[in-house]
Amino acid sequence: GESVGLHLPTLSVQEGDNSIINCAYSNSASDYFIWYKQESGKGPQFIIDIRSNMDKRQGQRVTVLLNKTVKHLSLQIAATQPGDSAVYFCAERGHNAGNNRKLIWGLGTSLAVNP
Amino acid sequence: EAGVVQSPRYKIIEKKQPVAFWCNPISGHNTLYWYRQNLGQGPELLIRYENEEAVDDSQLPKDRFSAERLKGVDSTLKIQPAELGDSAVYLCASSLAGTSGHNEQFFGPGTRLTVL
């Protein structure tokens, strides 16, 4: 299953299928991007990040793709499991001097995994 | 290792009443953040501390919101008086300072505030 941008806030997939969550970011000068997962009643949890000098990064069952030309970020989850059900946020870090630069968060996409 | 601790988890108050939230960051994390999150939206930064110093409070509504981080560890966020529009989840996060430019933020469970 695949979501298209931030205009489709809910993605429903079958357990075992691959999921793709998309995000359009705003600032072409942003140099760092993060995906967070937020389960109901919990704070956001870091999943994976990518710097602007890369276009792909893989983690355990997750892959982040970055297309700077069109300012697009995606999160791919392989073999989606019920525990993956959550709201997923992308965040970009502004290109300002200093550490801990402010994160700019996108709207969330709700992922529902059907057993 | 204990994560970021917040209390209370839920708070219901009437408008015009004061309310306070408490956060205990991960031990050793000198950077602390307060965020406000509305349903379905990403967190909005209210204030960021480096040790005791508030280094970014540009988004904090200073007419009614205040925060402090005495001794550079625990922090409190206060709203006085609360308004209906303040209903949201208030998240606290902490991170290590460093020179790498990437400082992963660890979030607490949040306090869900309902203003009636």
Residue by residue, pLDDT tens for chain A (115 residues) are: 554 433 448 999 999 999 999 999 888 888 899 999 999 999 999 999 999 999 999 999 999 999 999 999 999 999 999 999 999 999 998 766 554 467 888 889 999 999 8
Q: What is the pLDDT of residue B24?
A: 97
Tell me which residue in A42, A100, A106 faces B48 most closely, judged by beta carbons.
Answer: A100
pLDDT-derived band of residue B99, with 50, 70 and 90 as boundaries? very low
The answer to whether B25 contacts chain A (CB < 8 Å) is no
CA A105, A107, B78, B104 torsion-angle sign: negative
A72 forms beta bridges with: A24, A67
Measured between its terminal Cα atoms, the distance across chain A in Å is 14
Tokens of A104: 């700019």
The mean per-residue pLDDT over the stretch B71-81 comes to 95
Q: Name every residue in A having a CB less than 8 A away from some CB of B.
A: 9, 32, 41-46, 49, 87, 89, 91, 99-103, 105-108, 110
